Chain A
């Protein structure tokens, strides 16, 4: 079993829809949770970052972490065609003040059509 599981999609939604992206994980030591966005032929870029359980909101994006269920989510409200990209979840146990190794999901390919 991989450390991090993520449905690769593809996911296709109309503009304005609410998008839900999810990952599950097996390592209960994970404490740092991130979402990266990767446009075609580009490197991943950090989108959201959360520590431990709870919610974090940034504009149209909300990240949720449920450590009891080992489940994280990213919600995109009022989705736009410019949100079309691959979204990768990532997580780490961290060691002291360092993040250490990040474990990535496979990524979910999202298309938002006008």
Chain B
């Protein structure tokens, strides 16, 4: 099992540009989570999906952020337009029933200059 796969690993972009982060969850997992991690705020839940349906997006900071899960094996998190304060590590995680916790990807380190 390859685990949760995120791409790209690093992204440097200029303010105002669109950024798309990608995630492939573990096959068979039915829940997918997007988190953002910073030194100041720790891990923050942005949005989570259950069976491809968004369940809770209350953590999405503002309308510049959007997430989709078109099928069980793929999800995207998009930021448009990006701002320097969006610089963080973005993690995707998936789980089956959740009883065994989440499996995290290696993260995407985003820098907006």
**Residues on A facing B (Cβ under 8 Å):** 32, 34, 36, 41-46, 49, 88, 90, 92, 94, 97-102, 104-107
Besides the known contacts A41-B107, A105-B42, A106-B42, 8 further A-B residue pairs in the complex with CB atoms under 8 A apart: A32-B98, A44-B104, A49-B100, A90-B101, A92-B98, A99-B97, A99-B98, A104-B43
A46 touches B103 (CB 8 A): yes
Name the one of A42, A49, A97 contacting B101, with C-beta atoms under 8 angstroms: A49
Question: How far, in whole Å, are A46 and B96 apart by their CA atoms in the complex?
Answer: 14
Report A82 CB to chain B, min CB distance, Å.
19
**Residues on B facing A (Cβ under 8 Å):** 4, 31, 33, 42-43, 45, 48, 50, 56, 91, 93, 95, 97-107, 109
Q: Is the interface of A mostly helix, strand, loop or mixed?
A: loop
Chain A's closest residue to B109 (CB) is A41
Report A43 CB to chain B, min CB distance, Å.
3
Chain B's closest residue to A6 (CB) is B42
Name the one of B48, B97, B103, B109 contacting A101, with C-beta atoms under 8 angstroms: B48
Please give me the 9 A-B residue pairs with the lowest Cβ-Cβ distance, nearest first: A99-B98, A43-B104, A106-B42, A46-B101, A104-B43, A98-B98, A44-B104, A43-B106, A34-B101
Chain A's closest residue to B103 (CB) is A46
Report A65 CB to chain B, min CB distance, Å.
15
Question: How far, in whole Å, are A53 and B99 apart by their CA atoms in the complex?
Answer: 16
Report A96 CB to chain B, min CB distance, Å.
9
A43 touches B107 (CB 8 A): yes
Given contacts A98-B50, A101-B45, A105-B42, contact A43 B100 (CB under 8 A): no
